[in-house]
Amino acid sequence: MFNNRLSITACLWLCLISQLLALWPQGQWIAARMQDGSDQPLGVIAVLSLAALLITQQSAWQAPKTRFLLMAVVLQLAACGAWLMLPPLLSSLLAVLAISMLIAAFLPQNSPYLPIFGLAVLSLPLLSSLQFYAGFPLRVITAQCSAWILQLWGNHVERIGTNLHINGQLVMVDAPCSGVQLAWMVYFFACVIALYRQIADKHFLRCWPLLGVLVLLGNIIRNTCLVVLETRPQGLSDSLHQSMGLVILVMVCSVVAWLLSKQPTPEKQEKSMVLASPAWLFPLVMLCMMLSGAVSWSKQSATTQAKPKYIEWPQQWDGKPLQPLALSVVENRFAANFAGHIGRFSDGQRQIVLRYVEQPTRMLHPASDCYKGLGYYIQHEQLEYDDQQRVWRCFYATKQGQIVRVCERIVDKQGKVFTDTSSWYWQAELGHSQGVWWAITTAEGVNMVAKQ
């Protein structure tokens, strides 16, 4: 069956096309997440890298290996089943691993497989989820290490959650300072180098913990430098902030390149094209791939849990009466699955969104994510105190000349305040904060001349 190059290539493309059709719902979800602004579409780079591998390595494809074909089918069936019960991200993870297993089945025997699997995982829109779940503990580590370094320089520094109180000034260690994006870049860079140099999986796997250490060290150095620059009288400009991140990225990637250059590479070996799988396996694989797609495509809208019908919203805010406003179509759709209630009001000057949260939920995300999804450019994120000495997380959102100043905070039943949703989520899950919670977001139009 696999007695010539043409049949091997045809087999690969037939299997891949069947697999992509069966996993079309997951693909649609991934594409939508990359376009809605809630996540940075870095996964496109990983997808293009995998596509380049498929196109440029066609002459090296060999008869498929049975174990990888079977794993591809098992993972695809699991992905289609998970689409009915689990969050889309987990189903999509199984889907991209199934695709990478299919690619691995046709690779030469001595080819590295881990970089393929790594690029497949990196193709997912997972940065926002990683920021939500891992961002808080990573920022705590980064902030504490920065505090120790700055204390060695004679500064009076205290860590307050994920923020630093340095020489009487409060500095926010925000989401980009978690190092999640730096980690994505570094591991993508490492996977590409490992593929290019054909580094054996055992040597590449040995480097993975070192890559994590390099990311952590680079992020601590970056955050420490930014804190020092931000405490200057002139503050820290956006351009300098971005430049510092770029310098650290280049430095870390340079060390990664040096580290991987020290890993041995296998000698080139000619492999004869032999039938690695029984002839009956290919039709079975094709059948399973086509049938499994029916599972994903048949998913119906999940029913939502019943909620209490009435919430007593506050009648005024900061001494001003609140006028209820209707929720938009998007807000109504979001509220249908939200673990609580959402109300939108106006005090005559600002729009105020109140969210009554009954349990820890991933759906309580930062307001900046919402504005990014609506096409706004976010800048000047910082902690601010209002006239009543309440701390808020504030930023400016700009779109088509319109500037909106947005501030947000979360308050629990005991009055404990959070300005970061990742921090709130972990504290709530660990029982350190008791609900119900009120998440308050205010939005106010800004006069462009006044802002300048």
| Segment 142-149 mean pLDDT | 90
In this predicted structure, what is the pLDDT of residue 132?
A: 76
Percent of the chain at pLDDT exceeding 70: 83
pTM confidence score: 0.71
**Does position 260 have pLDDT exceeding 50, yes or no?**
yes
**Does position 25 have pLDDT exceeding 50, yes or no?**
yes
Q: What is the pLDDT of residues 192-238, one digit of tens each?
A: 999 888 898 889 998 989 999 999 999 999 989 888 888 877 777 77
* More confident call, 362 vs 305: 362
- Tell me the C-alpha distance between 442 and 157, whole Å: 31
In this predicted structure, what is the pLDDT of residue 171?
A: 80
Instruction: Judge whether 257 and 193 are in contact, CB under 8 Å.
Output: yes
**Does position 91 have pLDDT exceeding 80, yes or no?**
yes
In this predicted structure, what is the pLDDT of residue 291?
A: 56
Q: Which conformational region is residue 348 in: left (phi greater than 0), alpha (psi within -120 to 50 degrees), or beta?
A: left
User: What average pLDDT is seen over the chain?
Assistant: 80
Residue with tokens 């290019």: 196
Residue 93: partners with Cβ closer than 8 Å, 6 or more residues away: 121, 124
- Tell me the C-alpha distance between 424 and 432, whole Å: 9
User: ω before 192 within 30° of 0 (cis)?
Assistant: no
Q: What is the pLDDT of residues 95-106, one digit of tens each?
A: 999 999 988 888
